[in-house]
Structure 1
Amino acid sequence: MFTGIVTDIGRIEAVEARGDLRLRIGCGYDMATVDLGASIACSGVCLTVVDKGEDWFAVDVSAETQSRTAPGLWVEGSRLNLERALKVGDELGGHIVTGHVDGIGEIVAVDAIGDSTRIAILAGAEVAPYVASKGSIALDGVSLTLNEVGNAPDGGVRFTLNLIPHTAGQTTFGDVTAGRRVNIEIDILARYLGRMMEQRAAVV
């Protein structure tokens, strides 16, 4: 489990194509405190540490994960929002995030609003029923609050949210531009409620 509060920005230093992709990710963590087998969220994707050094760790990204995450993310030079797994007793500063991507969105507009940045995202029908104004969502592993939510063509959804300067400065959204694809994780409560409604409709 994670909270969607980014604690470091990592950079993919090397990519090795095996059966899966082996990524070496440079970071600022004290790697003496990170065990092999630990979970680290990498731009919203829960990955397992399989090797490590003084200032880097390695993960394997399966073909399934590659197919379900934002295209172009797992390449050398990419910057990643990092978060270590939540420990019992840690402050839940964002919301409960699992590191499982539910869909991919595209940033379609970026506007300065005061000191903040408002971004608009277009996403598909697979996430549309689970987003609501003032609800929580994770974009590339960052816990954010939805503002306006509206319908889009083909059953999709268009929503907006604001990035305050602190959030932009501590994440990879500091240089955000239109056209960028992002990993979306819906709120876990919305996921379970949606499943319950599906089961109820099937019974009826």
Structure 2
Amino acid sequence: MAQKFGSNNILHLACQLGKAFEERKLPYCWIGGVTVQRWAKPRQTADVDAMIFTGFGQEESICKQLLSIYPSRVESPLELAIQGRIVLLADELGTGIDISLGGLPYEERVLDRSSIWEIPDHGALKTCSAEDLVVMKAIANRPQDWIDIENTLIRQQKRIDRQLILSELEPLVELKEEPEILAELKHRFSAIK
């Protein structure tokens, strides 16, 4: 059964931005709270999060394209895009738009696995897979992220590829030097069959 959403400004904003990204031929997908609506238990989210794959060296160019859509929330958006690989925008209502600039091979695979989610009365969103949502939430490692992970595992049950999650997460956890993340995820896997 398809989920029903009433009028939802966040989903509407994401659909409009997705169209703008596609018009500019920017390789993107939605991540974060918007994607939780698709794969986990729908919940309120105050902003939208996307990842645009830029590789390395295109950060300034992409940032300028994004600034032509919505204004920055920070004083030095080009510097942040180049150094922090993120662009922070806001729409006319003040809704936060966080756009990560992907460059790692994992982030390219996230795009390869992304798919279209048709939302009645809103449009279509290109979201990351449920597996990649779990990986990104585990790396973020905040209390709400673990709730979202549990809800994703419960809702997706046998459809989710746990081995893919572990194989993608392991090198990222090593890079972050936080092995407890992997241990926590394995614990959640064993608790949710």
Under a length normalisation based on structure 2, what TM-score does the superposition of the two structures give? 0.31
Tell me which protein shows more strand as a share of its residues.
1
Tell me which protein shows more helix as a share of its residues.
2
Under a length normalisation based on structure 1, what TM-score does the superposition of the two structures give? 0.30
